[in-house]
Amino acid sequence: MIETENSSSKTIFQKRKTESSGSSKKKRTSNKHDNNETTETIEQFSTTSTLKVDKLPPHSPSLERFSAMSKPRESILTTPNESDIGWGTFNYIAICYVMAGFSMMADSYINKGTLVDFELFWWLVINYQVLIYVTLGLATWSFFNYFCTRQFAKHRIPSGVSIFLYVFWQFVCFAGSISFVLAHEMSPILSGGTGLQICVYSLKNHSYWHTNYFLTKGLDKAKSKVVRVDLTPNISFRHFLYFMVAPTLVFETSFPRTKSIRWTYVLKELIAGAGAFLMFYIVCLYSNKF
């Protein structure tokens, strides 16, 4: 009888122990499941945050400098919010220049009866058509360099012929342009500007030929196919035209472009350029009594 009771008590104790161990296992499983969900949530959040960070544009000091003018300001003489680039000081200097220009224009009106005397200006731009002819001639002559470079990139002419044609292009560029400029009477500033334009076209065509020439040579010597865009020559006619009007002397196989240009930005730049030239001209008149 005693043995039967002991065995029954042992059986009950084992059942309770089994139930308690099973419940503890369930709790552990549920805890692990919760931990896994938490970990997955954290990973998803970190991945999402990483993607958000990656989508942000890189920091650009120049972009920050030029976009600061569109940020809200308390007045025209204060610095824009969230920027520390000294726009307030820049505006003070600009106002001083404008006031000085108005003062010199008023003095010219009192002495000569006109705000700005353009007699010197017309002398400075005498034979301005020479600059136009040289610019159009060099732009047209650049297509010859494009055609020769394209032929070499397509392996239609050997490298020696390509080098000879490039040297011939540079010789005609300088010899023809300088001879045409020296044959006409021009002011120092206009002749200097024309010579600068000759150098610009020469350097642009040199960079275009040099880059595509050595990229083509690199493709020929490569042991495997080159798939990188920046290591393959770009002889697209549209890309060549874009490079010729772009404000750079260094040819790249691809340039960053914006979808559109705001007309207000172009208008501001034109007004700024005209104002800077007018200020320079007024100072020149005021400092030299012609």
Give the up-direction half-sphere exposure of residue 75: CA atoms within 13 A in the CB hemisphere. 6
Q: In the chain, what are the domain boundaries?
A: 9-50, 88-117+264-287, 120-257
Question: What pLDDT score was predicted for residue 39?
Answer: 47
**What is the DSSP track for 12-58?**
HHHHHHHHHHHHHHHHHHHHHHHHHHHHHHHHHHHHHHHHHHHHSPP
Rounded to whole angstroms, the Cα distance separating 252 from 212 reads 9
Question: What pLDDT score was predicted for residue 76?
Answer: 53
Task: Tell me the pTM.
Answer: 0.61
Contacts of 108 (CB under 8 A, 6+ apart): 114, 115, 116, 117, 282, 285, 286
User: How confident is the prediction for the chain on average, in pLDDT?
Assistant: 75
Rounded to whole angstroms, the Cα distance separating 25 from 18 reads 10
Rounded to whole angstroms, the Cα distance separating 98 from 4 reads 114
What residue ranges of the chain have pLDDT lower than 50? 1-6, 10, 13, 25-27, 32, 37-55, 57, 60-63, 65-66, 68
Nearest Cα to 197, choosing from 280, 262, 149, 134?
Answer: 134
Q: What single-letter DSSP state applies at residue 125?
A: T
Contacts of 38 (CB under 8 A, 6+ apart): none
Rounded to whole angstroms, the Cα distance separating 239 from 208 reads 11
